[in-house]
Amino acid sequence: MYKREKSIQIKSSASAFYNNLSTLPITDKNLTYFAVIHGSLVNMVSASTDGLNLSHRQLQSKEGGMVHGTSLIMQMYESDGSIMVYWHALDTPEASTDAVFARGIGATRSHYICVGSSTGSILVFNIPPKGTNITLSEILEQHRDPITDIACDCSEDKECVADLVSADDSGVLCIWKSGDDFKLMYKIAAYGGTCSSVKMWSGIIAAGYGSGQILIYDAAAGTVNVVVNAHARWICTLDVASISGKLLSGGEDSFLRIWRIYRNPETNSIEVEHEHTECVTDVQICGAKFCDPEGTAFAVTGYDLSEIIRYVQV
C-alpha cells in the first residue's frame, strides 16, 4: 500500500506531454531532483526525503528554441541544472513545414546518450568519463515517424542480448544492442496505434499504448509475452524500478497502477501481477516516476497542475 504525502509546488504547471516528469535520487545527500516541462521552460526542484526542504530552478531554452531561424537547439545540463555543458542544433528538413523537436532520451552503460527526434532519427552522443567533450557519434535511421520514447535496460544484468528500445508515433518498436556501433536486433511492427511510453528491465520491455494496453516483450526474442488491459484511456507514462522490477503506469483515466514483472524460473516465461492502484481525482496524468530504485515511493504530475504529488509505501 502507498499513502499520499505532502505535494511539492512547482513554479509553473505541467504541459500535456507524455512522460512529463523526471526524477533523479541523490541518495548520499537524501535529495531527489524533479523536473517538469512547461512549454519551453523546465521547472526543476530539489527536495529532501521528507519534502520539507526545497530548492527551485527554472531552465529557459534559447529564445524560440531557434538558431538563425532554421534549427532547434537541444541542450544538455549538469544534473542540478546549474551549467549547460553542451548544445546541438536539430536541422529542419528541406521543404518541410512540420515542427522539429527532440523527444525521448536514454543513457546506456557504455557512455552514450540517445536522443529521439521528430524526423524519426535517433542521435547517439558519446559522453566522456571526464570533461565536456561531448560528440555526436552516430545517427540511427530505422524509424519513419516521430520518436515518442527511448529506454535503456536499467537492471544490473550486463549480459543482455539487447539493451535499448525506441518507439514512435505509429507504434513501431526498434530493439538495439548498444556499443561502439549500435546494432538493430528487432524491428517490431505497429500494434494498432501510438506507443507513448516504453521501459526496459532485465531483458523485458514494457510498452504503453494509446489503447490503454501494456504489451510485455521479451527483448532477446522480440516477441510479445503478455498483453495487459491496464487503463481505460491513453497511457501517458511508464516507469520501472531498477532493483525491484516494479512497473508504474499512468493514464488519461486519472489512474496510477503498479505492477510486478518477472520471469517464472520454472518456465522462463514473463509474468505480470497487479500490486496497487491509486486514483488522482480530476487530474489528467502526464508523468509519473519512481523516486528510488526499490520503488518504495513515486511521484506524479498532471496537465495544468502546478504541483508534484508524492506517494510513499507504508
Tens digits of per-residue pLDDT, 70-127? 457 788 988 888 888 998 887 666 655 567 788 999 999 888 999 999 999 999 999 9
Nearest alpha carbon to residue 286 among 246, 247, 256, 245: 256
pLDDT of residue 98: 65
pLDDT of residue 160: 75
Average pLDDT of the segment spanning 151-175: 89
Query: Average pLDDT, stretch 257-284?
Result: 94
What is the chain's length?
314
Q: For 7-25, how does the pLDDT look when each residue is reduced to its tens digit (9 = 90+)?
A: 999 999 999 999 999 999 9
In this prediction the pTM is: 0.92
Burial status of residue 89 (CB atoms within 10 A of its CB: 0-12, 13-18, 19 or more): middle
For 65-106, the DSSP string reads: GEETTTEEEEEEE-TTSS-EEEEEEEEPPTT--SPP-EEEEE
Which string of b and e fits 2-37 if b means at least 16 CB within 10 Å?
Answer: beeeeebebeebbbebbbbbbbebeeeeebbbbbbb
Share of the chain above pLDDT 70, in %: 93
Domain coordinates of the chain in residue numbers? 102-279
Of residues 9, 18, 14, 17, the one with CA closest to residue 195: 18
Residue 187 CA to residue 203 CA, distance in Å, equals 16
Q: Which homologous superfamily is 102-279 in? A: YVTN repeat-like/Quinoprotein amine dehydrogenase (2.130.10.10)
